[in-house]
Amino acid sequence: MLEAKGNASPCNWNTVVIADLKGHTRASATFRPMPVPWGGCIGGAAWLPASAHVAAGKVYFADAGGIVRGLDAAGSEAVVATIPFTGVQQMLSFAVSPDGSALLATVFTIPPKPSSSDPCAGTSHGFAPGNFTLDVYSGRAGAAARLLYHEVLATASSEPTFEVMALIGWDSLGPVATAPTAWVVPAGDSLPVPGIFAQVDAQSGRVTRHIEDTPPAHDCFVTDVAATGDYVCTTYPNTLSIRRQDRTEIWSYAQVPNFAGEAHLSPAEDRVAFANPSNGGRSADVVTKTGQRIELRITPYGWLDGQDVIGFGDSVDLSYVSLNSPAHVIDLGFNGDFLGTMQT
């Protein structure tokens, strides 16, 4: 998991933790948190990509200098790659292959804040003259990162909109990204929709296809991709659809009540957990391939295994609930962001 320790602001993560289900820390490491760039006048604050991922029995994390390290449950820590990253008006995203041997990274560079006293006056989008650019790098464990390509992103003069790619994971087909990606929190919203999920070629660093069609043609919005490449998406108005890589449906659950936020696919792909605000407070539903529906007192962030859902209960700490005892919330005592599970 990721935590913001000391004087770090919420979500300005500076610590990775490997913990067990009793709330005991197995290993941890601190790092310089990612700087938050000026996000202009098109929304609120810039929304940073995830700075850590789980793969091959380790948690991989990137710091403000572009150094990617791996940490295992025994506490062993090693540098995996170094990405050219100044942190000045930049965002870094990366993904690690399931066996930990390969890495792909992006550096998104944004023009700076103008020197005027009111950068958002009139029709200004709030940036000084300059290009929005994307640099994509590949690397092997322990080797120097290699630039695959540098791209100047086309923008509209009044409001920068472009197909910027951010890496979010790696399934059996290869790297997974969002393209386009939401990189600012819309004014008045808590979090943006992350973007349109896409498969990326590990050799070229280019998007090969969108997992579902892009708007306005798409009929199913992807929220989670399994290690197999299968995925869960939501169709209008309220159906969950679990689909294969070729977009054929495996199973679905219609008439999902008051669906809100992301849906999380279980490891066996036979259950989906999602937030349900109609239940009151922090709560969720789990629906199953066999048509069962289970209410949980938790806001789900993912699955620990086929029976246990992790998220936030009534406290600010990460907690989990077993489907065998859905009313019993177990507080882990960590206030942070869930990344995934590890075999140790």
SS3 for 187? coil
Question: Same structural domain for residues 85 and 127?
Answer: yes
Q: Which residues share a beta bridge with 272?
A: 265, 287
What per-residue confidence (pLDDT) applies to 137? 99
Distance, in Å, from the CA atom of 341 to the CA atom of 264, rounded to the nearest integer, reads 14
Q: Where is the domain boundary, 210, 232, 257?
A: 210
Question: Same structural domain for residues 202 and 227?
Answer: no
HSE on the CB side for 44, CA within 13 Å? 10
Question: Same structural domain for residues 186 and 223?
Answer: no
End-to-end CA distance of the chain: 15
What per-residue confidence (pLDDT) applies to 213? 76
Question: Same structural domain for residues 2 and 135?
Answer: yes
Question: Same structural domain for residues 133 and 28?
Answer: yes
Say what the pTM is: 0.93
Distance, in Å, from the CA atom of 165 to the CA atom of 186, rounded to the nearest integer, reads 18
Domain region containing 3: 1-210
Read off the CATH number of the domain in which 329 is found.
2.130.10.10
What per-residue confidence (pLDDT) applies to 12? 87
Q: How far is CA 239 from CA 135, 228, 273, in A?
A: 37, 22, 13
Question: Same structural domain for residues 101 and 123?
Answer: yes
- Tens-level pLDDT at each residue, the chain (344 residues): 999 988 666 678 999 999 999 999 999 999 999 999 998 886 667 889 999 999 999 999 999 999 999 999 999 999 999 999 999 999 999 999 999 999 999 999 999 988 877 888 766 678 888 889 999 999 988 788 999 999 999 775 455 556 799 999 999 999 999 998 988 876 655 555 688 999 999 999 999 999 987 766 667 889 999 999 999 998 877 789 999 999 999 999 987 766 656 799 999 999 999 988 766 556 788 999 999 999 998 889 999 999 999 999 888 899 999 999 998 999 999 999 999 999 76
What per-residue confidence (pLDDT) applies to 10? 63
Is residue 329 within 8 Å of residue 295, measured between CB atoms? no
Question: Same structural domain for residues 254 and 123?
Answer: no
Q: Where is the domain boundary, 210, 243, 258?
A: 210
Question: Same structural domain for residues 82 and 16?
Answer: yes
Question: Same structural domain for residues 18 and 139?
Answer: yes
What per-residue confidence (pLDDT) applies to 143? 81
The count of domains in the chain is 2
Question: Same structural domain for residues 194 and 173?
Answer: yes
Q: Where is the domain boundary, 177, 210, 243?
A: 210
Question: Same structural domain for residues 160 and 236?
Answer: no
What per-residue confidence (pLDDT) applies to 95? 98
What per-residue confidence (pLDDT) applies to 183? 87
Q: Which parts of 190-298 are beta strand (E)? A: 195-200, 207-210, 221-225, 231-235, 239-243, 249-253, 260-265, 271-275, 284-288, 293-296
What per-residue confidence (pLDDT) applies to 31? 97
Question: Same structural domain for residues 187 and 271?
Answer: no
Q: Within a 10 A sphere around the Cβ of 156, how many other Cβ atoms?
A: 9
What per-residue confidence (pLDDT) applies to 326? 92
